Structures are given as structure tokens and as C-alpha cells.
């Protein structure tokens, strides 16, 4: 194929050239670059395209030869994409060991991605080198990277064909439990097949639902409660206060003065029953103005006799179409209100008020507060934080202007991978992307052992 034949693809006003399907000479690459609408990004765009289509490594090699000839040097980013393609390309073939050599070379210069490891682990597992795949997996975790679902699927698949990996695969399930990760459908099917393949263990898996009471419809067992014990709550409160609220990080989003004035504001009031992320909640529906929505929510909760805190930003006090002064005044009569500077982040305030108020206090927000996971010191604390969140986060399930506000009920049980020894319950994502971050999966794999 002559390079002239490469038909340009139009994307948002610029012309994108598809990567070639065979290695090109240096002059052919030069010619192709001339026809590019963005010559500065040409090499990166080509390499990214080759990576996306998992193209032949030799095409990428010919591109590098051209770049060295043209510029005398290779950029770090270009090399990284080339190495990723090498790991990918080799791992599926008999040359899979070369993928490990490339990975080793990469580590000297940069942090490989979970995908680089996934390809190398797959290569080792496909070729029966189980020890190597687990060594790479441990290395990936030590680097603080999060494995992707394909990696786990590959490991469980290899556990079906080669016995003796039970302890390691159970530790994968523990990791998913600690980090609130839910298997997706292809992976859950492989996990089910692996359990059922274990010799002499007689596992049987069924896809099931859990009743609101926390009882599994399939085996009738009760799942773990969502409630934290007093000890767990005290430990979580202590760690969150230290790390998230008093940590140095928090002052990127607020000032020490603002946080101190908020703390004394909270201490002067009786414990709250619910803390509302005002801005987040006000944005629930486009059918009503912000202040109308917020007032409806506050009124509904006030009728339940709750002591309410509304966290807002100062701009909400400037009268506008969205922020009606009368509505805001009514909100102030029905709830305690604290308005932060417009640039401040709500989360530290919300966490402080809710945890300070005690284990009975819930919070209302559609946010997941993922950022705070990184501040927490260990997996046990992260697990407690997520458990507290799942058990205390109220979400609006339905609201139409002029009608009642409905809240999604907090379930009595915890949606997390769990085992009693002779049974496992694993919540899974049926088709990823269909649930919002604060929601939890509704479908479960129930595994029981026949005695």
C-alpha cells in the first residue's frame, strides 16, 4: 500500500491519519507526516493509534527509526507507548518472555501501568508459568497500582487449569473486599467456574438477590450488617479527623481560620442528625431552581423532626434566579446553615460535622468522596470509611417540583465481598457504567459448599 492511499479521517475539524498496516521506510514516514494537519503531534498520534489497534511491533519499530533519524532523539512518552506495545504484542506469543525483559527495562526509567503488567501476567499464565505471573502480580501491588479486571480473570482462569493457587486467589478476593471493588460480569463467571472446579470441595454457585432485610434469596443466610461497632466508629473518626481534616492536604481547599470557625460552630450546636451538601443537592433536578430544590429537601427532613445542617457556599446568599432570597431565608429557619468561601471544598466540612455528631448522623450527597481514600493510612481504615459511607449516605431517589421528596433507603446489610467459610457472597457489576458511583450493585454470586 502506498502511503498516498491512506485516507485521512476527519475528527472535530482536524484531519487524523490512520496508522499504516505494515512497516514504512524513513522517506514514507516523512511523506505521511507532511500530509498531517498536526505535524507536531504526528509521532505520538501514530504510536497511540498503533497501540490502540495492537498493531505489529515492527511497524512501531519503523516509526521509531524514522523519529531518531528526523530528531536525533526519542521522547519519554513515545518510548513508553512503544514499550507498552511490545509487552502487549509479545505476551500473547511464544516470545512472551521478551515481554518480561521489556518490562524490566521499562522499570528502570518509569512506573509501568497496570496494563503493562496485565499483558505480562497474561503471557506468563497463558504459557503455564504460574509462579512468574504471581510474582508479577505481587510486584504490581507493591508499586501501589490497581490491577485491572482482565488481570484477575487471567489468574482465576489459570487457577481452573492448574490447581494449588487457592490461597493466592482467596487473597485477590480479600483485596477486592478491602478496596470496595466489584467484579464485572466476565470475571464473576470465571470466579464461579473456579470455585466449582476445586476438587473435593463441592462448591455450587448461583446468581442471586438479597432481600432488604439482608437475607440471601438463594441460601437464606444473613449478610454482614452495615452498622459499625462502637470501636470501629471510634477508630474511623480518629483516623479521618487526623488524616483528612487536620492533615496538611486540607488547607489546599480551605484556610485554618475557616476550618476553626466551623469547628466552633459545630461544637456550639446539638449533634446533627443529617448533614446536607447544599450545592450538590440543589443541583438534583433541572426542573426546579436550586433554592427551590434545596428548600423542598430541607422541609421534608424537618418534618421528620431531624436536626439539620446545610453546608453551602457564600455565593448562594447572593440573590439570583437560582438562589431566591425568600427560599434561602426559609431554609435558614428550618436548618442550621454554614456557608464557606466559594473556593472551599465541602467534603472536609461534611465529614467533620457528620463524624463529630455521632454514629446516628447521616449525610445527603451524590458525591462519593473518592479523593479521601488516598489520605487514609491503610486498607482496614479505607474499608471502614467505605462501610461508614455506604451506611450513612442518603441519596434522593425521586423529586418533582411541588411533590414529596423521596430518598433511597440505606440497606441494612453491607454490599461487599464476604465469606462465612462455607459460603461466599460476591456482589458484582452486571453491566458496568449503569450505576452511579454512590450506588452499589444489586446482583450477587452466592457460593455454598455441599456437605
pLDDT of residue 53: 86
What is the structure's pLDDT at 4? Answer: 38
| pTM, 2 dp | 0.77
CA dihedral 217, 220, 226, 228 (to 10 degrees): -170
At which residue does the C-alpha cell 487536620 appear?
A: 246
Return the residue matching grid coordinates 481534616.
245
The CATH number that domain 3-204 falls under is: 1.25.40.10
pLDDT digits (tens, 9 = 90+) for 137-157: 999 999 989 999 999 999 999
Number of residues in the chain: 451
Each residue's pLDDT tens digit, 72-84 = 888 888 888 888 8
48 burial via Cβ count (<10 Å: 0-12, 13-18, 19+): middle
Task: Look at residue 11 in the predicted model and tell me its pLDDT.
Answer: 40
- The CATH code for residues 230-360+370-387 is 3.40.50.11980
**CA-based end-to-end distance of the chain:** 65
The gap from C-alpha 73 to its chain's centroid, in whole angstroms, comes to 37
Residue 205 has phi, psi (to 5 degrees) of: -110, 140
Give me 15's grid cell.
484531519
pLDDT at 10: 40
Q: In this predicted structure, what is the pLDDT of residue 63?
A: 94
Per the CB < 8 A criterion, the answer to whether 207 and 213 are in contact is no
Would you kindly state where each structural domain of the chain is located, as residue ranges? 3-204, 230-360+370-387
HEC letters along the chain: CCHHHCCCEEECCEEECCCCCCCCCHHHHHHHHHCCCCHHHHHHHHHHHHHHCCCCHHHHHHHHHHHHHHHCCCCHHHHHHHHHHHHHHHHCCCCHHHHHHHHHHHHHHCCCCHHHHHHHHHHHHHCCCHHHHHHHHHHHHHCCCCCCHHHHHHHHHHHHHCCCCHHHHHHHHHHHHHCCCCCEHHHHHHHHHHHHHCCCCCEEEEEECECCCCEECCCCCECCECCCCHHHHHHHHHHHHHHHHCCHHHHHCCCHHHHHHHHHHHHCCCCCCEEEEHHHHHCCCCCCCHHHHHHHHHHHHHHCCCCEEEEEEHHHHCCCCCCCHHHHHHHHHHCEEEEECCCCCCHHHHHHHHHHHCCCCEEECCCCCHHHHHHCCCHHHHHHHHHHHHHHEEEEEECCCCCCCEEECCCCECCCCEECCCEEEEEEECCCCCCCCCCCCCEEEEEEECC
Per-residue HEC secondary structure of 291-348 comes to HHHHHHHHHHHHHCCCCEEEEEEHHHHCCCCCCCHHHHHHHHHHCEEEEECCCCCCHH
For residue 275, what are the β-bridge partners? 309, 363
Q: Which of 180, 174, 229 is nearest to 372 (CA)?
A: 180
Low-confidence ranges of the chain (pLDDT < 70): 1-15, 244, 247-253, 368-375, 432-438
Asked if 223 and 210 count as a contact pair (C-beta separation under 8 A), the reply is: yes
Phi and psi (nearest 5°) for 308? -110, 140
Angle at alpha carbon of residue 24, lines to 23 and 27, rounded to 5°: 165
- pLDDT at position 6: 40
The angle subtended at Cα 365 by Cα 362 and Cα 371, nearest 5°, is 100
Amino acid at each position: 500500500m502506498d502511503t498516498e492511499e491512506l485516507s485521512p479521517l476527519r475528527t472535530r475539524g482536524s484531519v487524523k491519519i490512520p496508522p499504516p498496516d505494515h512497516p514504512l521506510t524513513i522517506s514514507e514516514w516523512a511523506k505521511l507526516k507532511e500530509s498531517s494537519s498536526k505535524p507536531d503531534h504526528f509521532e505520538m498520534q501514530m504510536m497511540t493509534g498503533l497501540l490502540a489497534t495492537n498493531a505489529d511491533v515492527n511497524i512501531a519499530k519503523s516509526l521509531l527509526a524514522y523519529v531518531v533519524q528526523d530528531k536525533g532523539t526519542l521522547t519519554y512518552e513515545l518510548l513508553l507507548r512503544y514499550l507498552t506495545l511490545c509487552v502487549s504484542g509479545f505476551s500473547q506469543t511464544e516470545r512472551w518472555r521478551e515481554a518480561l525483559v521489556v518490562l524490566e527495562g521499562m522499570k528502570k526509567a518509569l512506573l509501568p501501568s497496570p496494563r503493562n503488567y496485565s499483558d505480562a501476567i497474561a503471557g506468563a499464565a497463558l504459557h503455564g508459568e504460574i509462579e512468574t505471573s504471581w510474582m508479577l502480580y505481587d510486584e504490581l501491588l507493591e508499586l501501589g497500582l490497581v490491577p485491572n479486571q482482565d488481570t484477575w480473570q487471567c489468574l482465576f482462569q489459570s487457577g481452573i487449569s492448574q490447581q494449588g493457587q487457592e490461597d493466592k486467589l482467596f487473597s485477590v478476593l480479600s483485596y477486592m473486599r478491602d478496596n470496595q471493588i466489584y467484579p464485572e460480569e466476565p470475571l464473576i463467571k470465571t470466579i464461579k467456574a473456579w470455585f466449582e472446579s476445586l476438587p473435593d470441595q463441592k462448591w455450587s454457585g448461583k446468581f442471586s438477590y438479597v432481600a432488604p432485610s439482608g437475607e440471601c434469596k438463594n441460601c437464606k443466610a444473613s449478610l454482614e450488617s452495615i452498622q459499625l461497632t462502637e470501636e470501629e466508629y471510634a477508630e474511623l473518626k480518629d483516623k479521618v479527623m487526623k488524616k483528612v481534616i487536620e492533615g496538611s492536604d486540607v488547607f489546599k481547599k480551605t484556610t485554618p481560620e475557616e476550618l476553626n470557625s466551623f469547628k466552633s460552630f459545630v461544637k456550639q450546636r446539638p449533634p446533627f442528625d443529617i448533614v446536607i451538601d447544599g450545592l450538590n443537592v440543589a443541583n438534583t433536578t433541572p426542573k426546579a431552581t436550586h433554592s427551590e430544590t434545596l428548600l423542598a429537601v430541607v422541609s421534608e427532613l424537618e418534618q421528620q423532626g431531624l436536626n439539620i445542617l446545610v453546608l453551602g457556599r457564600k455565593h448562594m446568599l447572593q440573590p439570583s434566579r437560582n438562589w431566591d432570597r425568600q427560599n434561602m431565608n426559609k431554609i435558614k429557619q428550618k436548618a442550621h446553615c454554614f456557608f464557606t468561601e466559594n473556593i472551599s471544598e465541602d467534603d472536609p466540612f461534611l465529614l467533620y460535622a457528620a463524624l463529630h455528631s455521632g454514629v446516628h448522623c447521616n449525610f445527603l450527597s451524590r458525591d462519593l468522596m473518592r479523593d479521601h481514600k488516598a489520605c487514609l493510612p491503610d486498607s482496614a481504615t479505607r474499608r471502614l470509611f467505605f462501610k461508614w459511607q455506604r451506611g450513612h449516605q442518603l441519596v434522593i431517589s425521586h423529586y418533582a417540583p411541588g411533590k414529596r421528596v423521596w430518598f433511597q433507603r440505606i440497606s441494612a446489610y453491607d454490599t461487599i465481598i464476604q465469606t462465612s467459610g462455607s459460603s461466599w457472597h460476591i456482589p458484582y457489576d452486571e453491566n458496568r457504567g449503569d450505576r452511579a458511583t454512590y450506588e452499589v450493585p444489586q446482583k450477587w454470586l452466592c457460593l455454598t459448599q455441599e456437605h
